[in-house]
Amino acid sequence: MKPPARADSDRAADLIRAVRQRTPARVLIGRAGPAYRTHTQLALRRDHAAALDAVQTELDLARDLAPELVKRWGLFMVTTCAEDKTDYLLRPDLGRRLSPPARQLIQERCPRRAEVQVAIGDGLSVAAVKAQVPVLLDKLAREARQREWRFGQPFVIRHCRVGVLNDIGELLEPEVVVLLIGERPGLATAQSLSAYMAYQPQAGHTDAERNLISNIHHRGVRPADAAVRIVRLVERMRHLRRSGTEVKEQLDEATRLGPTV
């Protein structure tokens, strides 16, 4: 006996569920008359508050990264030329330069000419650093060591902008610098991290000489997957001896499809 055809409303509900499982964006969420439903309004206010907190919070190494992680990696924190959060937000140029004490400390504690040098920057979301860096840093190191790369001493930068990559490149002369930095929070999540990468960065380099994997969070690019993609990109940079727009990421099927939660 042929089963009864499913109602259009059932098929529409299935489609909406499938779409919403693929993205944290607020699509197909429904309305009550001309307005959002109450639970949607409350969620928006909650997420807006989380975004503001993520931007305004000052990074604290002991509080935001697990003490065990800090000890195991010997993490230390330096600052850029931006002296406080207000300075950082109003003067992006200061966030792109390491302060003189930071330059001295990095030179004292970090070996030069590593094959991969990782730095962790607060950027615009301390919440992203706190949520994603512990898994990502360990996984990155494992992937690098499997390839017998020299993995530089990681360190943390407060009031950090992406352009600080150039200062790191000139100070330590690594082959590739990977900067893990908090993204500007949105209303989908305040825990999204980016990984900017550059081959032998130096003064004057721009975003055209950099590669990026963004949206690293539990409903975007998962940290473990991001580590694999970062290492593959580093391999291509080392092979081609360049980075930026001329270096394209090659994704396999599993990576291209992304999470299915």
* Distance separating alpha carbons of residues 115 and 43, to the nearest angstrom: 44
Task: Look at 218 and 117; give whichever has higher pLDDT.
Answer: 117
Give the pLDDT of residue 4: 59
Give the pLDDT of residue 6: 67
Give the pLDDT of residue 260: 41
Q: Is 75 helix (H, G, I), strand (E, B) or coil?
A: coil
198-225: average pLDDT:
93
With a pLDDT cut of 90, the percent of the chain lying above it is 66
Q: Is pLDDT at 259 greater than 60 in this prediction?
A: no
H helices, E strands: number in the chain: 10, 6
Contact by Cβ (8 Å): 210, 178:
no
Give the pLDDT of residue 3: 59
Q: Is pLDDT at 148 greater than 90 in this prediction?
A: yes
pLDDT digits (tens, 9 = 90+) for 39-59: 888 988 998 888 888 888 899
With a pLDDT cut of 70, the percent of the chain lying above it is 94
